Amino acid sequence: AAREARGSALAAAHRACVSAAESEFETDSSRSASGSGMHADVKLATLASAYERALAASPTDEALWRRYTSRLERSATGRDAADAHARALRHCPFSGETFACALRWRCARGDLEGARAMLESVRARFGVAPREAHAALAAAARSGAVSAEEALARLGVSFGEDGVRGDVVLSWLDPVLWLDPELTLLRQSVRCLTNLDARKRLWDKFAESSRLKNVAEVHVARALFLADALGDDAAAAAAFKKAFAKIDTLVSASSSSKSGAASATATANGSSLEAPGAMVLCRAWMAFERSRGAGAEAEAEKNSRSFLEADARAGVWLRAAEAARAARRRSAAVAKVKMYAAKDERHASAFREGRRDVSSTLTLAERAAQLAATSGKKTRVSGNKELRFEA
């Protein structure tokens, strides 16, 4: 433990040195632009040395590697940046973000073939880490190395009407294992379509006829698309209502596999009020209803009826969930009080029966001296503040 603490302190000190060197580098760069300051190559070498010392102390620090490669991309040669990216991937082989940084850099330099070659290693690299694979593939789609459709196909989602279009390189059947709450790849695939009707059909496909049909964030995104892009608040409210009809089966993309399993256990035990998917949908529905403008009198009356209907469903659900949380907190507090009461009663009983001495106001050293005088035994105070007796 002491060795780990020293290592952490050393790593923190090196990171502080890196931050100071970065600040000094930026300051001197601005001076160099005005005709003064140290030579840029010397300052960059000094900054690189600070990074190297920090990475020697923390060779698996993903954030530090990304800072280093970003600096070399902006200030050093392409070869130096390439070497740093390769080293980062060796030291952090299962980091999707680190992989994504290297991928983006290749795409920025126009090396699309190299980027696609990197993608071929996604399965071998992230076969047991679907969220990291998603981060890498999302970066590839943003950089143009692959289309959003191909990236989703590699994650096991196909677009074909028969559900079998494209080769599925990765097959995580549960989308909660890899999907991010922002729905990055899904939104990218929708933005690739220029026609609003085509976008609507794709959101409908995601929400109704794919492996994503039980993900709450997908239903929320679909409803908000109907309201924001198409201006159809009634259709958006209907989408929320339709999703609420199967609220017991909804899951959340913000849940990991572990929390998802815990949620499933809670649902099986009958306590599904606080299931993540249900909470996401209910909160989004109520926020949507509150955000709708009053408009004309007839429109205001219609919105009011829609709000009341949402409140009768999602609002009641949220209030019940809050009541369940409050009851659980009260129950935990009562159990804690009972535990302390039982402990106090045991102590009081021990005092009454003479099995324990009444608390003394003397210090530990004074008690030790007193016991030594009365018992005729040698006493000492140990490191854990107990009285020990020696013959």
Strand-strand pairing, 378-381 and 387-390: antiparallel
- Number of C-beta neighbours around residue 188 at 10 A: 17
Q: How high is the pLDDT of residue 391?
A: 45
Q: How high is the pLDDT of residue 106?
A: 87
Residue type, 294: A
- Number of C-beta neighbours around residue 286 at 10 A: 19
What does pTM read for this prediction?
Answer: 0.64
Structural element, H or E, at residue 190 = helix 184-191
Task: Give yes or no for residue 167 having a pLDDT over 50.
Answer: no
Which residue would you say has higher pLDDT here, 189 or 171?
189
Q: How high is the pLDDT of residue 261?
A: 40
> CA separation (Å) from 259 to 155, 177, 262, 265, 367?
21, 11, 5, 10, 52
**% of the chain exceeding 70 in pLDDT:** 73
Q: Categorize the per-residue pLDDT at 351 as very low, low, confident or very high, splitting at 50, 70 and 90.
A: low
Quick: pLDDT tens for 266-282. Answer: 443 335 778 888 999 99
Q: Categorize the per-residue pLDDT at 361 as very low, low, confident or very high, splitting at 50, 70 and 90.
A: low
Coil/strand/helix, residue 194: coil
Terminal C-alpha separation, the chain:
36
Quick: pLDDT tens for 10-51. Answer: 888 888 888 888 888 888 766 665 544 557 778 888 889 999
Quick: pLDDT tens for 111-164. Answer: 888 888 888 877 778 766 778 888 888 887 887 777 888 888 777 665 554 333
Q: Categorize the per-residue pLDDT at 184 as very low, low, confident or very high, splitting at 50, 70 and 90.
A: confident
Please tell me which of 146-155, 156-165, 218-227, 349-358 the model is most confident about, judged by mean pLDDT.
218-227
Quick: pLDDT tens for 286-299. Answer: 999 988 765 555 56
Q: What's the chain's average pLDDT?
A: 78
Using CB atoms within 10 A of its CB, is residue 33 exposed (0-12), middle (13-18) or buried (19+)? Answer: exposed
